[in-house]
Amino acid sequence: MDIITVKTRPFGDQRPGTSGLRKKVKVFQQPNYLENFVQSIFDALDDYRGQTLVLGGDGRYFNRPALQTILRLAAANGVGRVLVGQGGILSTPAASCVIRKYGACGGIILSASHNPGGPEADFGIKFNAANGGPAPEKTTQAIYRNSLEISRYRTAGGGEIDIDRLGAARVGDMAVEVIDAVTDYADMMQQLFDFELMRPLLSSGRLSLCFDAMNAVTGPYAREILLRRLGAPAASVIRDQPLEDFGGAHPDPNLAHAGDLVARMHSDAAPDLGAASDGDGDRNMILGNGFYVTPSDSLAVMAANAQLLPGYAAGLAGVARSMPTSRAVDRVAGELGIPCFETPTGWKFFGNLLDAGKITLCGEESFGTGSDHVREKDGLWAVLFWLNLLAVRGESVAQVVRAHWRRFGRNYYTRHDYEGLDTGAAAALMDALKAGLPQLAGQRFAAGEILQADDFSYRDPVDGSTSSGQGIRIMLAGEARIVLRLSGTGTSGATLRVYIEKLESDPALQGQDPQVALQDLIALADNIAGIGRHTGRSAPSVIT
Ligand code: G16
């Protein structure tokens, strides 16, 4: 094999964010940019030589050329075998499943998740470790350090691999296997959920569904699982062709970007369950007939009902949520008598807890839920969980959630995003907020008294590592809370996220619009953080 060593220089901006490196496609297209980052990954790993690596992505623009580049670098760096999803496709949860199933030393996933795709939009790359989960912080920090010092990368000569044809190929000494992207994952779903129960209900229309794949990676998975294995009518899956630019749509499953699905779920023709997944298939949004389930509530309902489903019949070891996620699941854990962990934003923080068997379910307000079946959040898994739950309980989504609120209380919840802010202005806002934290406790406002205010720091109970500066928490009386942090996934400017919640235990008061129920807290957040003053914005760009 021809191994070529190419001289290069650091770029200086290759620090992985909340989930890998995300930049505009044009940034990745600069000569050596992708190569530098991939070489920095290999240089950060100890034990990959001769081992198996998994490679795939969400099929977005630049996926295919990037994949060929990575294959050449992998061969030149001594990887033994690469498993590539056919067509370069692997959803993020499917990649996690394949890494674990075939004992790979890790995987490289090409995705910018829910960010738009296309030549003018976003691309991303992340490394997942041998447990199938996002690389822990010590690895991402090592990758970043390497990227700042890199002076050469190794690549191999040779032609392109046909990634559309299943089967074996070689790049020099390295074996390449193009694998079916769907089967391993679909088989796993069939083991976790009661397909025998669901199939007759779905195929007869007694349980109906609309799944929006948002022109992104979950289309082929949804066709195989929902249509072929579960017998749902073809019209149950919409926007099911993965497109390089997601058809110009924004593949983020929320109320703002899945507008057609939301409209359908509020129409006379609404099916029992509406759901959408994102660019790389790890997020989910759950809707009932005329009813939206917040991701935080979805996690809490799942935890309360998990034992009804075959894959979780033995009960839950524990649960975890990211810090900004509402505390609805904490109440369930309290009642079940199981531990509940609060972690920083980022799925990587669940990895140790899952590996150590401390938790079975976990989730985030950012439309992510998952379990110990893989080490990523999992969009279609969540849809199947809900379908299975509806089939067992014979109730509507709204009935299930309202009953949950009556039993545990309702954690009213909303997130306000201010996107595309000037990075300096956003940093100044956060700095001022941090400086004022010591004065906040004890102050009284219309929204209630502030009991505690801090900058969240997490000590991992498994490896003892500490992650500080993870977001501002302002805790108020009445189990109310305001959280502010800057997003770690954007590619232009800064995004301020403001998360607001309040517990309502009185069933008579659980039916309000969250924007109304939380209006005092929303105003207080603006007041304390000076959002308008620092950013010049009078309203958020997105409300979920
Ligand atoms: C990623 C992470 C999630 C995180 C989300 C939002 O999701 O995996 O853990 O909650 O970003 O992060 P931020 O608030 O920093 O933008 P995904 O689906 O984009 O990979």
Query: How many A from CA of 18 to the centre of ligand 1?
Result: 6
Query: How many A from CA of 16 to the centre of ligand 1?
Result: 12
Buried b (16+ CB within 10 A) or exposed e, 199-221: bebbeeeebbbbbbbbbbbbbbb
Residue nearest to atom 13 of ligand 1 (CA): 487
Query: How many A from CA of 452 to the centre of ligand 1?
Result: 26
Residue nearest to atom 3 of ligand 1 (CA): 346
Angle at the Cα of 474 (from 471 to 479), degrees rounded to 5? Answer: 125
Residue nearest to atom 17 of ligand 1 (CA): 113
Question: Which CATH number is 410-543's, of 2.40.10.120, 3.30.360.10, 3.30.310.50, 3.30.420.40?
Answer: 3.30.310.50
Low-confidence stretches of the chain (pLDDT beneath 50): none
Query: How many A from CA of 349 to the centre of ligand 1?
Result: 12
3-class SS of residue 162: coil
Q: Which pLDDT does position 169 carry in this prediction?
A: 95
Number of residues written out for the chain: 544
Q: How far is CA 136 from CA 40, 109, 120, 294, 476, in A?
A: 15, 15, 30, 28, 32
- Eight-state DSSP code of residue 120: T
pLDDT digits (tens, 9 = 90+) for 286-300: 999 999 999 999 999
CA distance 223 to 310: 23
Closest ligand 1 atom to Cα of 346: 9
* Residue ranges matching CATH 3.40.120.10 in the chain: 3-179, 184-408
Cβ of 19 below 6 Å from ligand 1: yes
Q: Which pLDDT does position 1 carry in this prediction?
A: 75
Cβ of 92 below 6 Å from ligand 1: no
Architecture of the domain spanning 3-179:
3-Layer(aba) Sandwich (3.40)
Cβ of 345 below 6 Å from ligand 1: yes
- Eight-state DSSP code of residue 18: T
pLDDT digits (tens, 9 = 90+) for 19-62: 899 999 999 999 999 999 999 999 999 989 999 999 999 999 99
Residue nearest to atom 9 of ligand 1 (CA): 346
Among 280, 347, 542, name the best residue to mutate to test ligand 1's pocket (greatest count of ligand atoms within 8 A of Cβ): 347
CA distance 531 to 128: 36
Q: Which pLDDT does position 19 carry in this prediction?
A: 83
Backbone angle region of 281, left / alpha / beta, with phi > 0 → left and psi within -120 to 50 → alpha: left
Closest ligand 1 atom to Cα of 489: 16
Closest ligand 1 atom to Cα of 366: 10
Strands 319-322 and 340-343, sheet pairing: parallel
Among 110, 252, 345, 416, name the best residue to mutate to test ligand 1's pocket (greatest count of ligand atoms within 8 A of Cβ): 345
Closest ligand 1 atom to Cα of 112: 19
H or E element at residue 7: strand 3-7
Query: How many A from CA of 17 to the centre of ligand 1?
Result: 9
**Residue 113 annotated as catalytic:** yes
Query: How many A from CA of 283 to the centre of ligand 1?
Result: 9
Cβ of 114 below 6 Å from ligand 1: yes
* Residue ranges matching CATH 3.30.310.50 in the chain: 410-543
Angle at the Cα of 138 (from 134 to 141), degrees rounded to 5? Answer: 95
462 C-beta neighbours (distance < 10 Å), count: 12
Query: How many A from CA of 506 to the centre of ligand 1?
Result: 33
Cβ of 489 below 6 Å from ligand 1: yes
Among 366, 378, 430, 458, name the best residue to mutate to test ligand 1's pocket (greatest count of ligand atoms within 8 A of Cβ): 366
CA distance 95 to 83: 10
Closest ligand 1 atom to Cα of 279: 18
3-class SS of residue 370: strand
CA distance 258 to 381: 19
Strands 167-171 and 52-57, sheet pairing: unpaired
Burial class (CB in 10 A: 0-12, 13-18, 19+), 149: exposed
Q: Which pLDDT does position 446 carry in this prediction?
A: 87
- Eight-state DSSP code of residue 17: B
Q: What CATH number is given for 184-408 in this structure?
A: 3.40.120.10
Query: How many A from CA of 166 to the centre of ligand 1?
Result: 32
Q: Which of 491, 290, 514, 348 is nearest to 416 (CA)?
A: 514
> Which of the following is catalytic: 113, 296, 298, 487?
113
3-class SS of residue 491: coil
Cβ of 497 below 6 Å from ligand 1: yes
